[in-house]
Structure 1
Amino acid sequence: MSIHTVSPQFVGRARELAALRGALDEARAGGACTVLVGGEAGVGKTRLVGEFTASAGDALTLVGGCMELGTEGLPFAPFTAVLRDLVRRLGRDEVAALVPGGDTRGLARLLPEFGQPGPEGREARARLFEQVLGLLERLAEDRPVVLVVEDAHWADRSTRDLLSFLVRYQRGEARLLIVVTYRSDELHRAHPLRPLLAELARVGWVTRLELGRLTRREVLEQAAGILERRPSPADMDMIYSRSEGNPLFVEALLGDPGGDTLPESLRDLLLASVERLPDETQELLRVASAGGQRIEHDLLAAVASLDETALSGALRPAVAGNVLVVDGEGYAFRHALIREALHDDLLPGEHTRLHTRYAEAISRDLSMLPAPRGAIELAHHWHAARDNTWALISAWGAAAAARTATAFDEQLRMLSRVLELWDRVPDAAERIGAPHAEVLRLTSVAAYQAGEFERGAALASAALEEIDRQAEPDTAARLLRHRGLIRFSLSRPGYVDDLREAAGLVPADPPTRLRGQVLETLSRMLTRPDQLEEKISTARQAIEIARQVGDDSTHAHALIDLTWAQCRYTDAEGPIAGFAEARRIADRAGAYFAVMRGTISESDALEGAGRHEQAAQVAREGIAIAEQYGLARSSGTFQAINLAEPLFSLGRWDEALEVIEHALALLPPAPHQASLQGLAADIALARGQADRAEALVASSRKVLSRGAFRSQSVLPHACREIELLEARGRLDEAREAAARALREHDLMDDSRYSWHLLLTLAQLGGPFLPELRSTAGWVAVEGRLQRAQRQTFLALTGPAPGDDAEDTGAWRLAAWQAAASAWAELKQPYAEARASLGAAHAAQALGDRQEATARHARARDLAERLAAVPLLDQLDAFARRARLAVADGAAPQGQPLGLTARELEVLEQVTRGRSNREIAAELFISIKTVSVHVSNILGKLGASTRGEAAAKAHAMRLFDR
């Protein structure tokens, strides 16, 4: 008779295994898919995933586990393990060739084989995240990929953030399945994984599997597999009652078949398999338990002080007894509970002594562990050894390593530990080479980059209180600049004051990089029209200093500030060239944040000046650059906003919706998502889709209600709220919202968005027209777009009391004609159509039927092309009242049944029997966009199925050649 340490038979998980296989089939077919597998410790999560991956066929399986260090996890541990495994399998060069854009500096933060990391900062973190996802997607082009992240209950915040990013942004076309395991019994109410699981569970392609305990019948099957015989009924009763169906406990209970008694405690149960091993093996396992769940061979050898022969001799029984398993270049405990029981069983002296030995071994050769793991584990072991001096020194070093890896939360934790230990180490400043105020500053920076703005501001203020600003002007200036940035992010007052004080502290002679950075930041934050001259002067000073000290990044940013200030929304060609020059300088320096900012600012300036075609072109270039830099889902989706906006202006609404749908499919950050949905709501309102507009506006409202946002976000949203109420016929509420908007918003801040709001309010009319006229008199008119908006505003509000307008009717007609001409010159068909309707009304009031008919015809032609249903209804109502001789409103030539050009293209593909995926590939659009077009086509054709739509298209001979 023989006995196995684990059952050779996989028991009781048929449903869960089928669910994982179904998820892989779904991913293989092109559907985004993530499975979260939860269950208590020992219930069989790892065994289930192992059985699944073993049967995954041609799929590429990548497995990485989170690692516990004390109460915190190691940053990015599972992804570092996956990357190292890929390099081992494919080679460094082949992996590098798969990285989007070919720049591996982001991955170098996880694995030093990829060279030196690029510039640090929050943008670097975003780039790292997108490169990891891009790498997985490129791998999945050849075959499906299964990414397994184990033990997520130990994940640090950096790991959780990257995991959330991968799940939320995975594309179905990528054929990527993500499987995450975690201990559900570890998730106390304050556990940081709980909110992430709740958030991910709301994502449409995420499924949660909860592994329960085995039934009595299943425990019997497991026991029979281990013993190779069925246990007696009495033994079975005892095994089932003691294990309560937990597979690990069943294995432990059956692990000593010759024993006369069963273990009395869980600890005894877990350690039973260890206590049967030779003494030297037990001692080695106790040593290993202090190293964590997974430990490298070289590190274990160094700490155990054994030669290879002795080490191998001690290890073999542990591996044979299934207490340890070989894991890459080291070993892992078969179950974390076994390691925890061993570690908890150490005496206090043993605990301190072992962690000291680990710290000393790592100190002798930090390279035996990959960066930043070596520095962070070193800090963990010195802290666990209760050596305050070395705990402080190692935490300082670990913070620097975490910063390089963009693990800002880990950096913040390490720096917080330095502050905590400061008073316990008398010569702390000398030990780390930095004063307490500098540690506070760096901790504040880490808090800011980790998104803890309030804490960052408090730490910066604390640091400022510790220093003499006159004696340490540079340090004070850095702190003031940093606090100014945080206050700006929080929309708190005082950020300009901080930056002005910082500029006053740094001497102008000799020029320094710090002074250039401070002046550039100040210039960037001077956003009000009354600060324009100061902004220009400050930007020029920053440019001159940056040139002198060779700081290309600051030079590029300052040139963007200057160009923006000089061109604003004017029509001049010259100043715009500054954006191209800034991008060239930034590109030369590898300052990709400046490159992105340059394209965003340029496209925004062009759109604000009414140069819509140029704005769209620059935005397209920006999206391509974002993809090249690996920032498609962050900077790229912001650029999509700047592309959709000019497309809306140009009346290319279906194209704009495709851009929006594609960007939203990438699940952009919430503020970007709100802006994209807002633009989609504008089109829905113009086309009379009130329900869709209301849903989009409500979604945007949730985002905007959670923070402070600038005019470019809040003013368009205010317009949409008002227009939606007007579309619903709730005019009194719309006027109340309009009055509230006038009270709450500063219309002097940004003329581009202020004029839009003024036009929306003027369209309503009402008792606040005098206030509107007064306000409009103060809002700047900086370019063609603002002039067209102002002209339309005048036509809506009429001559003010006291204006010289003898014939008000003639004045109104001239005003509307001028407005229509201005919008036509800008190539904005929707605005031109509305102005033409205004001109038609004015002409009819004067009795000029010929002009009224001509203006009406022009407006109707434009509105039909746009499918602007509410405007078409207004035009038809006007024609009936005025009894104009016009056509009955057939769809424009070339667009049968009101189908748009894109919908005709999609319908042609449908008639050929192609699927949504095939159509998407043919037309270079997303599958979701195809689905939207097909739904619209079915509605317009009155068809219930694709086949019926195709039959109608054939009957009408739409695509005969």
Structure 2
Amino acid sequence: MCPVLVGRETELDALDGAFTEVLAGTARAVLLGGEAGIGKSRLTEEFAGRARARGARLLLGGCLELGVDGFPFAPFTAVLRQLVRELGTDGVAELVGGRTSELARLLPEFGEPEGDGSGHHQARLFELVLTLLDRLAQRGPVVLLIEDAHWADRSSRDLLAFLVRNLGAVAALMVVVTYRSDELHRGHPLRPLLAELDRLERVSRHELDRLTRQEVGELMTRLHGTEPSGRRVEAFFTRSEGNPLFVEALMETDGDIACELPESLRDLLLAGVERLPEETGELLRVAGAGSVRIEHRLLAAVSGLDERALTRSLRPAVESNVLVVEGEGYRFRHALIREAIHEDLLPGEHTRLHTRYAEALEEDATLVPPGRAAAELAHHWYAAHNLEWALISAWKAAQEADRAAAYAEELRMRERVLELWERVPDAEQKIGVTRQEALRRAVWAAEWAGDSERGIRLATAALREMDGDVLSQAWLLERRGRMRHQLGRKGWLEDLHEAVRLVPAEPPSPDRAQVLAALAQHLFLGIGVEEARRAAEEALEAARAADDPKSEAHVLLTLICLMAEPNYENATDQAGEGWDLLDRAERIALEMGAGQLTLRAAINRSHLLEGSGRHAEAIEVAARGIERAKDIGLFCIQGSFLSINHAESLHSLGRWDEAVEVIERALESDPPRAHRANLVLLRGEIGLARGEHALAERGLEVAYQFTRWEVDRRLQEHYPVLRLEVGLRLAEGDRRAALTALEPVLTATGRPDDSRYAWPVLANGAAACDTVLELEPLAARAAGMAVQGPVQRAWSMTFHAESARCRGRDPRWDAVADAWGELGQPYPRAQALHRAAEHAAAAGERARAAERLIEAAALARDLGAATLLEAIEDLRRRLGAGGRATPAHGLTARELEVLARLAEGGSNREIAEALFISAKTVSVHVSNILGKLGVSSRTEAAAAAHRLGILPAGHPSVA
């Protein structure tokens, strides 16, 4: 059983909900199915713990695999034995009024059974078991858990059916039955019983699905204690197919995936295969040398069986769920079953079977679906150890993958070619290209597949083998520089400068324009504006001199980012120089059919629209770009970048559920680590607003791990991290940590877009200020910042309102709320309305405060903004005590909760357990409380709380 429960919230909620009905007096039954290792036992263990905590008695009965061979009533015997241990035979006898002779059929402790066990004795036994459970349930809720019902004997199935059908006659009883769905072949006796029980009113049935890729990643993190890379998650997900037990079994102690199947897992996988007829087993060995899915015609060709013999051999495998019919072929129920069968092949058998597959496909490529023949041939020739044909077929497969925009598969095949190169005589003649060209194409494939690690290694290998071709050397240096920058590796700038040096300025050439364009783009991303602008101007001149529109478009897109004012003010009609440059670059990309360039233009346009407050249009542009990225196989790279923009705009409009979906889809594509950091950070931002502080902490952890500040000082990556940390520390009540977190923003950068990303951090920071002294550094930074467009204006107004509050002046929160309302951003509007209500309440304007709270609460509730809603409801409660809000002396809602527990005499650890936070966080809250109340001890704080009326009326600690 996997020790960690992941991704079973729906099923756990269903079990908890059924038990709630049981507590209300309605008996229920829940049927839980799923394949071996899917997590049924772990789920029921978690539920059992919860049920016990709510007062349930748990009765556990497991069916044995040998039950059908003559061990009747096995699970109920186990239940009765448990009751005897807990209550004694006398206690059990008391529950059934001393009528224990029938129970003797289950346990010898009750003496000898009367009669011969005929039908009427069985009926009395069934009634007695029902009575026993009913009497127990009258003392308190009972959960009867019957595990592995697929192994239940006939008598156990009959008794189980009797109990479920008669639930209406029992008090607080819940019956939970688990079974392996993969064991239920067509003739299995449990199938009709499950169908019958599922139709009953008090019964619900649930099938546990395999885990998603994201859930596998979460499981791996919890099993090993560290977050795995996206490629490691993909490897585990592909091989385990989302089965949690298989994920655990395949994980080595260092977190890597096992090369060979562990014996225990192999035994589990092959258990069903070994029960099949010998001829079926032989056919499965043939099928196992194929793929997880194999076409009927291909299996017939390789096996050599006629149609009748093939069908006869296949039927038992299908009926036992080892194979599943899928279209015109068959699929192994789980890929690891095929792997286990394949690993059992003897060396000669392995070579012979793969050779037969390859020869069959060489003769007739239509034996597999279109587009698969090249890859299948490459696999089978390689597995058959025919190195010459393995090389040739891998090259062809790589070409096919390139045409299909399947860049990850292309990279695998190109690396296969390089692996075989020295082992195949005259490799260059056999595939028609030099090794240097094979390396170059592998580098290209790695870049397009988003695998910068392998791309760097391949480019370095190619540079070592360079034969003096200066332009090829420059091309490789440019690619390696790009990928080094993508990973935050040192040496990227040196690579790009060397690439520019190697390509002569005269005569003008596209090669020169291309390397200059790359240098300009990455100088902006990693060094500074002025050097990037000089490189961009030189690149634009070179592109136009060489009549290279593609490089010109690339440079134009960089120049847009370098503009001191990106024309946010003119965004209403998209007029201005920046928009003109963007339109021209986009036109060039479309005319040339340059997909990658088109996507970069979409990234820039959605970015500018979002910064201009045109969130709905930004969403539309980003969504179209994402679909285009999928079409041309670039979703992992540029599609994930567009997903950041897409989710950011959805977040702005309060469409948080949609934003989370976009983020999760992008994360599943294993994006570059910088993109991943941004996605997880944005998910943390939503989590913070919803009160899910663990998600916010996780966002910070990933962002600090992966953002590339040593190499890439992009404000759009750096400042949002600081913004989230300021918000999280403020939500935790640690103002000092919040103010410390924003310190990197206090030094002006002079970079474009500084104001776009600095204003939100400063606004959050101002909310953490209680004194003018704390505020002054922020005010000094804000005084030198531009305000470009309506979004920055709203953030600037938010900052100045917080500043006015801190200085004791009128903060004009209503105007701030209106500014956010005009932009269609519900969350900051709700925050401003709450602040306006606080200000009105402090001034004794109860009606005005209540009016603003009504709208703020509605917005927060629609968003699921739990933290803000809690603060709103807290203010509402305090307003209800009189015309003026009860003075909270600057205490946050969480600090008031801590103070209430402190006043009851709770220790930090007790308060932490009650409020589900850490003892360290409680300590920070207590320090803040002492400071705000101007007291020096917990006792004085409790006394001050009573004296000042901070604690709500009716609180146990209030006299």
Aligned to 1:705: 704
* Aligned-residue offset at 1:380: 2.0
Q: Distance in 2 between matches of 1:896 and 1:484?
A: 58
Q: Distance in 2 between matches of 1:347 and 1:932?
A: 62
SS of corresponding position for 2:705: coil
Aligned to 2:644: 638
Q: Structure 1 residues 769, 406: CA separation in 2 closer, same or farther (over 3 Å shift)? A: farther
Residue deviations 1:172-205, cap 9 Å, x none?
A: xxxxxxx966883993324999989xxxxxxxxx
Q: Structure 1 residues 857, 928: CA separation in 2 closer, same or farther (over 3 Å shift)? A: closer
Aligned to 2:26: none
Aligned to 1:799: none
* Aligned-residue offset at 1:701: 0.8
Q: Structure 1 residues 606, 379: CA separation in 2 closer, same or farther (over 3 Å shift)? A: closer
Q: Report if aligned partners of 2:834, 2:872 keep a CA contact under 8 Å in 1.
A: no
Residue deviations 1:934-960, cap 9 Å, x none?
A: 9899778779xxxxxxxxxxxxxxxxx
Aligned to 1:891: 848
Q: Report if aligned partners of 1:830, 1:866 keep a CA contact under 8 Å in 2.
A: no
Residue identity in the other structure for 2:858: E
Q: Tell me whether 1:477 sits opposite 2:434 in the alignment.
A: no
Residue identity in the other structure for 2:700: R
Residue identity in the other structure for 1:414: M
Residue deviations 1:101-149, cap 9 Å, x none?
A: xxxxxxxxxxxxxxxxxxxxxxxxxxxx99xxxxxxxxxxxxxxxxxxx
Please say which of residues 633-642 and 477-486 is displaced more in the overlay. 633-642
Residue deviations 1:300-326, cap 9 Å, x none?
A: 45556x6xxx73354244246658886
Q: Distance in 2 between matches of 1:460 and 1:362?
A: 34
Q: Structure 1 residues 621, 316: CA separation in 2 closer, same or farther (over 3 Å shift)? A: closer
Aligned to 1:426: 425
Q: Structure 1 residues 603, 312: CA separation in 2 closer, same or farther (over 3 Å shift)? A: closer
Q: Tell me whether 1:518 sits opposite 2:483 in the alignment.
A: no
* Aligned-residue offset at 1:464: 0.8
Q: Distance in 2 between matches of 1:480 and 1:285?
A: 50
Aligned to 2:144: none
Structure-to-structure mapping, 1:637-676, within 5 angstroms: 637-640=643-646, 643=649, 656=652, 658-668=654-664, 669=667, 670-676=676-682
Aligned to 1:579: 582
Aligned residues: 637
* Aligned-residue offset at 1:395: 2.2
* Aligned-residue offset at 1:394: 1.9
Residue deviations 1:684-742, cap 9 Å, x none?
A: 6xxxxxx9496564232122122124332222332553566567675655565556777
Q: Report if aligned partners of 1:158, 1:409 keep a CA contact under 8 Å in 2.
A: no
* Aligned-residue offset at 1:475: 1.9
Q: Report if aligned partners of 2:516, 2:538 keep a CA contact under 8 Å in 1.
A: yes
Please say which of residues 704-713 and 484-493 is displaced more in the overlay. 704-713
SS of corresponding position for 1:370: coil
SS of corresponding position for 1:426: coil
Aligned equivalent of 1:315, options 310, 313, 324: 310
Name structure 2 gaps, 5 residues minimum: 1-7, 19-31, 39-64, 66-149, 151-179, 200-208, 215-229, 259-263, 571-575, 668-675, 709-713, 819-828, 879-959
Q: Distance in 2 between matches of 1:932 and 1:754?
A: 24
Aligned to 2:489: 492
Residue identity in the other structure for 1:712: Q
Residue identity in the other structure for 2:540: R
Aligned to 1:188: 250
Residue identity in the other structure for 1:526: L
Residue deviations 1:65-116, cap 9 Å, x none?
A: 99xxxxxxxxxxx99xxxxxxxxxxxxxxxxxxxxxxxxxxxxxxxxxxxxx
Q: Report if aligned partners of 2:763, 2:799 keep a CA contact under 8 Å in 1.
A: no
Residue identity in the other structure for 1:671: A
SS of corresponding position for 1:658: coil
Residue deviations 1:766-798, cap 9 Å, x none?
A: 99999x99xx9xxxxxxxxxxxx8784369xxx
Aligned to 1:597: 600
Residue identity in the other structure for 2:649: L
Residue deviations 1:472-521, cap 9 Å, x none?
A: 12321221121111111112233233223323434566766555543332
Q: Tell me whether 1:828 sits opposite 2:796 in the alignment.
A: no
Q: Distance in 2 between matches of 1:828 and 1:39?
A: 55
Residue identity in the other structure for 1:899: I
Residue identity in the other structure for 2:677: P
Q: Report if aligned partners of 1:448, 1:456 keep a CA contact under 8 Å in 2.
A: yes
Residue identity in the other structure for 2:498: E
Higher relative CO (CA 8 A, sep ≥ 6), structure 1 or 2? 1
Structure-to-structure mapping, 1:346-745, within 5 angstroms: 348-349=347-348, 351-405=350-404, 407-449=406-448, 452-468=451-467, 471-506=468-503, 514-527=511-524, 528-541=528-541, 544=544, 548=547, 551=550, 554-566=551-563, 568-569=565-566, 573-588=576-591, 591=594, 593-605=596-608, 612-613=612-613, 615-616=614-615, 618-626=617-625, 629=628, 634=640, 637-640=643-646, 643=649, 656=652, 658-668=654-664, 669=667, 670-677=676-683, 692=691, 697-709=696-708, 710-722=714-726, 725=729, 733=737, 736-737=740-741
Q: Structure 1 residues 47, 720: CA separation in 2 closer, same or farther (over 3 Å shift)? A: closer
Q: Distance in 2 between matches of 1:661 and 1:494?
A: 41
* Aligned-residue offset at 1:425: 1.6
Residue deviations 1:8-41, cap 9 Å, x none?
A: xxxxxxxx9x979989x99xxxxxxx9974449x
Residue deviations 1:880-910, cap 9 Å, x none?
A: 9xxxxx7736437xx8351227928x99xxx
Q: Structure 1 residues 826, 443: CA separation in 2 closer, same or farther (over 3 Å shift)? A: closer
Residue identity in the other structure for 1:272: E
Q: Report if aligned partners of 1:539, 1:559 keep a CA contact under 8 Å in 2.
A: no
Q: Tell me whether 1:751 sits opposite 2:754 in the alignment.
A: yes
Q: Report if aligned partners of 1:834, 1:859 keep a CA contact under 8 Å in 2.
A: no
Q: Distance in 2 between matches of 1:338 and 1:866?
A: 55
Tell me how large the CA RMSD over aligned residues is: 6.1
Q: Report if aligned partners of 1:39, 1:185 keep a CA contact under 8 Å in 2.
A: no
Residue identity in the other structure for 2:483: I
Q: Report if aligned partners of 1:372, 1:398 keep a CA contact under 8 Å in 2.
A: no
* Aligned-residue offset at 1:389: 1.6
Q: Distance in 2 between matches of 1:45 and 1:714?
A: 49
Q: Distance in 2 between matches of 1:247 and 1:931?
A: 46
Residue deviations 1:524-554, cap 9 Å, x none?
A: 21211222432431452465378x4564xx5
SS of corresponding position for 2:845: coil
Q: Report if aligned partners of 1:903, 1:933 keep a CA contact under 8 Å in 2.
A: no
* Aligned-residue offset at 1:381: 1.8
Q: Structure 1 residues 901, 300: CA separation in 2 closer, same or farther (over 3 Å shift)? A: same
* Aligned-residue offset at 1:161: 4.6
Q: Distance in 2 between matches of 1:352 and 1:193?
A: 32
TM-score for both structures, normalised by structure 2 = 0.53
Please say which of residues 341-350 and 565-574 is displaced more in the overlay. 341-350
* Aligned-residue offset at 1:362: 1.9
* Aligned-residue offset at 1:392: 1.9
Residue deviations 1:790-848, cap 9 Å, x none?
A: 784369xxxxxxxxxxxxxxxxxxxxxxx9xx799888355336536767998x9xxxx
Q: Report if aligned partners of 1:187, 1:194 keep a CA contact under 8 Å in 2.
A: no
TM-score for both structures, normalised by structure 1 = 0.53
Q: Distance in 2 between matches of 1:696 and 1:186?
A: 24
